[in-house]
Amino acid sequence: MKYRLLGRTGVRVSELCLGTMMFGAKTSRDDSVRIIDHALDAGVNFIDTADVYAGNESERIVGEALSANGKRQRTILATKFYFPQSDDVNDLGLSRRHVIEACDASLRRLNTDWIDLYQLHRCNPDVPIDETLRALDDLIRAGKIRYIGSSMFPSWQTVESLWVAKELGLNRFVSEQPAYNMLDRTVEREVIPAAQSFGLAILPWGPLCGGLLSGKYDREKGDPEGRWQGGKDNFNREATDTAWNIIDLLRTIAREKECSVSQVALAWCAAQPGVTAPIIGPRTFEQAHDNLGSVDVKLEPADFDRVDALAPPRSAVVRYYDEALGIDFGTHTQRSVV
């Protein structure tokens, strides 16, 4: 396992981040703890969760696991907030009220005194970014969080947030977490170039395109417990003919490298310019073990060329990024105030 700097910070994180969206939902508590311990033993020091995962249960499991194994101090722990937590109309979004309440609730569930990376799970055009940044800056000064980041922010909102932080003398984002895989390279157009220009870490989620790039699906059939059934996932995204051709190519490369299809897809993502650590999201221990093995897969320039020929840079063979839950790229109803 290699380690990379988290954006412009001095913190080093493992080249893979353990995502925990399945924990407490499709993955039992015991299996979740086993996966966490295995990942940490393999050299992972970076765990990502969110308050919305499994109705808060993922955070509780992560907190209990890190308390039990005594590895909280050496783990870079990231979580996210934004989505509704109750039927209270104010218990969501990026308002100062919700930022502070969500942070305190996550700290309790994670059983920790601090969060290493606190991320805005989505953007919210209706809330001026200065309100959110001021609240986050106060939490940093209070010692409750150490760094802040964003997820699924369009590049213009990333730049706006950096400008407002500079104007007001506030702590700035150090990372962006976009959907990114070889079937949807949308973020290569503006998001990744902006991140590279301003020193933000890129932490791709969905590097296996929701399991489509795992190799367990083909044109005719697939994993009965997986997300992709009949060529569509649970968000009605559709696998195109070109997507299946790319999966066939990955099978060829996997045979040549004597590794799994998912390991090729993860190795490809981790090697892309600007990427710090792809987020793996295993449902089973076997998937976790397989995903962790991707750090040993070495792709050659010819391998990248073969992928580019079918999935050109900046292309979207499957509309994964634009169809993600909770995206709001609408026009501001209010402008940022500085």
Residue 337 has a pLDDT of: 40
The pLDDT value given to residue 329: 59
Among 69-83, 168-182, 276-290, 323-337, the minimum mean pLDDT is found in 323-337
For 172-186, what is the mean pLDDT? 98
**Structure-token match 């093995």, residue found:** 293
**Closest alpha carbon to 309 in 181, 214, 180, 182:** 182
Mean pLDDT to the nearest integer, 174-187 = 98
Of 78, 68, 79, which is closest to residue 102 (Cα–Cα)?
79
- Integer angstrom CA distances of residue 226 from 19, 128, 209, 230: 17, 39, 12, 11
Residue 213 has pLDDT above 70, yes or no: yes
* pLDDT surpassing 60 at residue 334: no
* Tokens 């986050």 belong to residue: 136
Fold of 3-7+10-177: TIM Barrel (3.20.20)
Strand 76-81's sheet: what is its strand order?
201-202, 173-177, 145-151, 115-120, 76-81, 46-48, 17-19, 279-280
Across residues 63-83, what is the average pLDDT? 97
Mean pLDDT of 88-106: 97
Residue 46's H or E segment, with its range, is strand 46-48
The domains of the chain are located at 3-7+10-177
CA atoms within 13 A on the CB side of 319: 7
Per-residue pLDDT tens digits for 109-144: 999 999 999 999 999 888 999 999 999 999 999 999
Place of tokens 């991140």: 195
Rounded to an integer, the average pLDDT of 147-166 is 97
- The rounded percent of the chain whose pLDDT value lies above 70 is 95
Please state whether beta strands 46-48 and 145-151 pair in parallel, antiparallel, or not at all (unpaired). unpaired
Catalytic residues: 53
What global pTM score does this model have?
Answer: 0.94
Is residue 53 within 8 A of residue 20, CB to CB? The reply is yes
Mean per-residue pLDDT over the chain, rounded: 94
Residue 81 has pLDDT above 90, yes or no: yes
Residues with Cβ within 8 Å of residue 128, at least 6 apart in sequence? 334, 335, 336, 337
**In what helix (H) or strand (E) does residue 279 lie, and over which residues does it extend?**
strand 279-280
Does pLDDT of 4 surpass 50?
yes
CA 1 – CA 14 distance, rounded (Å): 7
Nearest to 298 by CA among 86, 52, 5, 15: 15
Grouping H, G, I as helix, E, B as strand and the rest as coil, residue 212 is helix
